[in-house]
Amino acid sequence: MCKGFCRCKWSTLQFFHSTDIQGRGKNQRELKGVAAEAAWRVPVKQAQDLAGKLPLIQGMPVFCTENIATELGLSKGSLGTLVSVKYEERQPNQKYAVSATVDFPGFKGTPSDAEHPHRVLL
């Protein structure tokens, strides 16, 4: 589905890796190397719907999965369009999403950009 969307939009398919943590409290540690690779290969349905590698494409439709700010029109199920993704590259070809800018037409907050009043930084 993502590959087809890319072809239609003449966009580039990019995968962003998750940062996976094991343990709790003071015993938390980030999975790295072979352990991280193994976690990323776990099928989404076996990982409580969490993807180890997430395909993101500029212009793709997205929706809220939580009530972020219902009074501002950002609630579960709100539809939007991905505008951009800021990421860090920790190793060659391993991008980790840090934030995303999404255009939510239903957003009723104070815009940080007058030209694009419905854009939200997540």
Q: pLDDT tens digits for 35-71? A: 777 777 777 666 555 667 778 888 889 988 889 888 8
Q: What is the pLDDT averaged over residues 9-34?
A: 77
Q: In the chain, where are the structural domains located?
A: 16-55, 57-122
Residue 31, pLDDT > 80, answer no
| Residues facing 121 on adjacent strands | 101
Q: How many CA atoms lie within 13 A of 74 on its CB side?
A: 17
- Mean pLDDT (the chain) is 80
Residue written as tokens 């969307």? 5
Burial category of 80 from C-beta neighbours within 10 Å (exposed 0-12, middle 13-18, buried 19 and up): buried
Q: What is the dihedral of CA 109, 69, 100, 76, to 10 degrees?
A: -130
| SS3 at position 4 | helix
38: tokens are: 């193994």
Burial category of 29 from C-beta neighbours within 10 Å (exposed 0-12, middle 13-18, buried 19 and up): exposed
pTM: 0.73
3: tokens are: 């590959």
Separation of alpha carbons 33 and 19, rounded Å: 12
Residue 10, pLDDT > 70, answer no
Residue 1, pLDDT > 80, answer no
